[in-house]
Amino acid sequence: MLELLLLAGVLLGGYVFLTHTLFKRSKCKGNLGMAGKTVIITGGNTGIGKATALHLARRGARVILACRNRAKAEAAMADIQQETGSADVGYMQLDLASLTSVRSFTETFLQTESRLDLLINNAGLVADGRTEDGFGIQFGVNHLGHFLLTCRLLERLKEAGGGRVITLSSMAYRWGHIDFQTLAETKHLGTGRYSWQFFSAYCSSKLCNVLFTRELAKRLEGTNVTCYSVHPGVVKTELSRNVSLWQKFFIEPIARLLFLDPVAGAQTTLHCALQEGIEPLSGRYFSCCAAQEVCGQARDDAVARKLWEVSEKFSGLS
């Protein structure tokens, strides 16, 4: 009996520790006005993106869901409109695995929408494979597609006055590494037969997100546009829908017990969208609704600059 009590105590203590550290919750307290403002959310039809869209639509923003799957996007639009009462929720087709699609999206947006106040680079995946343009799927979707999308929309963000770019990264950036020689030769951050190999590539893509935001902030100095990268927390979403069955079998029980729900996972994104006075923190990495210090590889300005230059070349901007 004593052994069982000790075991229960250890398990309970472990649970409390994890829910106050790795799985810690936070709450956005920002109150920036959104009425009359336009927001683009990539991957806004599900998970964190949908929770973010719901909140911003409820606050009066015009929300555009930039998604690959029309049926899922239209279903999400109907849900958001029903829950919020907002009729100002739209959908535009965007496949981040296709640079042609990114260009088409931005051309259509710039022709049909007069303003952009907030760009939320939310979409992401954990998977193996290649994009339409031959890039590793995680590098192509998680970083390169968003890079091109952001660059092509910057002028419209500047016109709005006080525009913001929020890019969802992950604490997984800590295990990332960018091998530029391999990237130049293979257009991939890493691949292989085993799931840990493409998880490593995922970590590297999340490092790209942090470095991209850091370099973007430098290039935006002197303008009215700011940018932030975000760790949303460990959230139960469709991010890992492409992992193997045995991994899902292992992850699912832990996810049900500890992972944050999408609403909780959206709080730091919403903080960076709605909190007044954070402009001096442009380029910083946020977690639990606060700016956090990052590891050395995410502070390397030379690597951030080189990643930008490589991304310009890959996306056809240079």
Task: Provide the CATH number for the domain around residue 277.
Answer: 3.40.50.720
Q: Using the predicted structure, report yes or no on whether residue 230 has a pLDDT greater than 50.
A: yes
- Whether 218 is covered by a domain: the verdict is yes
Is residue 127 a part of any domain in this protein? yes
Mean per-residue pLDDT, 111-136: 95
Total-model pTM: 0.87
Report the mean per-residue pLDDT for the chain. Answer: 88
Q: What is the mean pLDDT of residues 12-21?
A: 39
**In this structure, is residue 178 part of a structural domain?**
yes
Residue 7 lies in a domain: no
Of 248 and 60, more confident: 60
Residue 275 lies in a domain: yes
Residue 8 pLDDT level (bands cut at 50, 70, 90): very low
Comparison of pLDDT for 119 and 2, the residue scoring more: 119
pLDDT computed for residue 26 by the predictor: 87
Q: What is the pLDDT of residue 4?
A: 46
Give the 3-state secondary structure of the chain: CHHHHHHHHHHHHHHHHHHCCCCCCCCCCCCCCCCCCEEEEECCCCHHHHHHHHHHHHCCCEEEEEECCHHHHHHHHHHHHHHHCCCCEEEEECCCCCHHHHHHHHHHHHHHCCCCCEEEECCCCCCCCECCCCCEHHHHHHHHHHHHHHHHHHHHHHHHCCCEEEEECCHHHHHCCCCHHHHHHHCCCCCCCCHHHHHHHHHHHHHHHHHHHHHHHHHCCCCCCEEEEEECCCECCCCCCCCCHHHHHHHHHHHHHHCECHHHHCHHHHHHHHCCCCHHHCCCEEECCEEECCCHHHCCHHHHHHHHHHHHHHHCCC
For residue 138, pLDDT beyond 60: yes
| Total domains, the chain | 1
Confidence of residue 24 (pLDDT cuts 50, 70, 90): low
Query: What pLDDT is recorded for position 19?
Result: 39
Which one is catalytic: 91, 173, 194, 202?
Answer: 202
Mean pLDDT of 90-116: 98
- Statement: residue 236 has pLDDT above 80: no
| pLDDT at site 127 | 87
Is 194 part of the annotated catalytic residue set? Answer: no
- Domain containing 122: what range? 28-315
Position 21 pLDDT exceeds 50 = no
Q: Has residue 147 got a pLDDT over 50?
A: yes
Does residue 47 fall inside a structural domain? yes
pLDDT at 14 > cutoff 50: no
Tell me the per-residue pLDDT of 257-302, one tens digit each, with 9 for 90 and over.
Answer: 446 889 999 999 999 999 999 999 999 999 999 999 999 999 999 9
Question: Is residue 37 one of the residues assigned to a domain?
Answer: yes
120 part of a folded domain = yes
Lowest mean pLDDT among 132-141, 193-202, 211-220, 263-272: 193-202
Task: Give the residue-averaged pLDDT of 54-73.
Answer: 97
For the cut 80, the answer to whether the pLDDT of residue 2 exceeds it is no
